[in-house]
Amino acid sequence: MVEKFDLIVAGAGPAGASAVLAAKGAGLKIALIDKSNFPRDKVCGDFVMARGPRFISEYAPSLKERLDQFPEKAVNKSTAIYVDDFDPIIWEWVQRSITIKREDFDHMILEEALKVEGVHFFPGETIKEVRRENGQVFVRSSNLEFKAPFIVGADGAHSPVAKSLANYKVDHNHYGGSVRAYYSALTNISSATNEVYVSKDVLPGYFWLFPLSETSANIGLGMHSRHIVPNKVNLKEVFYRFIEESPTLQSKMSSAEMEGPLKGFGLPFYSKKFNLSGDNYILCGDAGSMIDPMNGEGIYQAIVSGLAAGEWLKENLPKGKIGANASFAYEKAMHKRFWPEMRTKALLVKGFAHRSKLISSLARVGIRNPWMLNTLKRMM
């Protein structure tokens, strides 16, 4: 039997949960569907810039307190950027960011979203089919069928909603690949300092070591598909080789133990203005290809776009405004907010990211020159 809702939200990660939080008070009957049972792992670097939680806390005030009190996280004051074997460039954060396992972070946001009246959560339901018919959206999942006049696609990098309704196809010019694993028994690290490694072996991309405590970290590598695909790069091999050949990493990882497997996932970059809206749908977060093409950050865009979608829904859904003309206002607002920054970063990545000698030379000069150092920090 098809169950009828006012709204379907596909995906209960930061984007989907934020959309639900911002739709609070609209009196909507919402189906929130996710293929996972929470808390669930999400392949990520786990680095959450301060601005994401700050925005969402306006909609869920208790979240800030919960995050502040949660002990299993690292509070980051700086990032150390290692270019080749030079001394690191230290980037002090104005506001403290955190590194926290997504299993914990996403679960806390979801718990806040599930307090919203009218939300029905369907965990463990993989969306198999999404179709639009007679002005309604129909969703078929592992065991159930749903129907609503509108759907929010917040179902991540492999979004069935984006593929079905926005005709989204992976474009390797605007995509990246990445792998990450958790390690314990590390030495010479500080939970207050994230580490980023740039060298010809990982460009166009970077290697990261994001501490979760004084002895454990999320360690990973991301690279642009423009390089991975034609060169048939095996990211897992590059990851292990990079650790083995880096004297700096060896000084920290010689007795380290891997906790769980090295997992990979896609990075849909915001290096092009993707379609974020249409008749009966809106796309948020990774489903709308909103990952920063320079540093791989996506949680912030997921939260901001989810909240904006929720606000738009609250205003428009009760009035029956569900067509492409109306939902385009959301798309326009998102591109206005993010595109100038993302376009600049995409151009820098395209122009410089594969030129390892130039980056090395800039770093060599930059470390000694305060003006150059600030310019370099802004670029990264």
Ligand X SMILES: Cc1cc2nc3c(=O)[nH]c(=O)nc-3n(C[C@H](O)[C@H](O)[C@H](O)COP(=O)(O)OP(=O)(O)OC[C@H]3O[C@@H](n4cnc5c(N)ncnc54)[C@H](O)[C@@H]3O)c2cc1C
Binding site for ligand X (CB under 6 A): 10-16, 33-36, 42-47, 126-127, 154-156, 158, 160, 178, 180, 220, 265, 267, 285-287, 291, 296-300, 302
- Smallest gap, in angstroms, from Cβ of residue 252 to ligand X? 19
With both helix axes pointing from N to C terminus, report the angle between 102-113 and 61-69 in degrees, rounded to the nearest 10. 150
CB of 12 to ligand X, least distance (A): 5
Query: Please, which residue, 300 or 338, has the CB nearer to ligand X?
Result: 300
Rounded to the nearest angstrom, the gap between the alpha carbon of residue 303 and the centroid of all alpha carbons in its chain is 9
Q: How far is the CB of 222 from ligand X (least distance, A)?
A: 6
Q: How far is the CB of 369 from ligand X (least distance, A)?
A: 29
Helix (H, G, I), strand (E, B) or coil at 304: helix
Nearer to ligand X, 266 or 323 (CB): 266
Phi, psi of 369 (to 5 degrees): -120, 115
271 vs 366, which CB is nearer to ligand X? 271
By beta-carbon proximity to ligand X, the closer residue of 45 and 204 is: 45
Contacts made by residues 356-362, CB under 8 angstroms, sequence distance 24+: 356/199, 356/200, 356/203, 357/200, 359/83, 359/198, 359/203, 360/83, 360/84, 360/86
| Tokens matching residue 327 | 């939902």
Backbone φ, ψ for residue 303 (5° rounding): -65, -50
Closer CB to ligand X, 156 or 310, in the complex: 156
> Which region, left, alpha or beta, applies to residue 11 given φ > 0 means left and ψ of -120 to 50 means alpha?
left
Residue 377 · residue 99 · CB < 8 Å? no
Closest CB to ligand X: residue number: 298
In the bound state with ligand X, the residue whose beta carbon lies nearer, of 290 and 317, is 290
What is the closest distance, in whole angstroms, from the C-beta atom of residue 176 to ligand X in the complex?
8
For residue 37, give the DSSP letter. P
Question: Minimum distance from CB of 180 to ligand X (Å)?
Answer: 5
| 3-class secondary-structure state, position 257 | strand
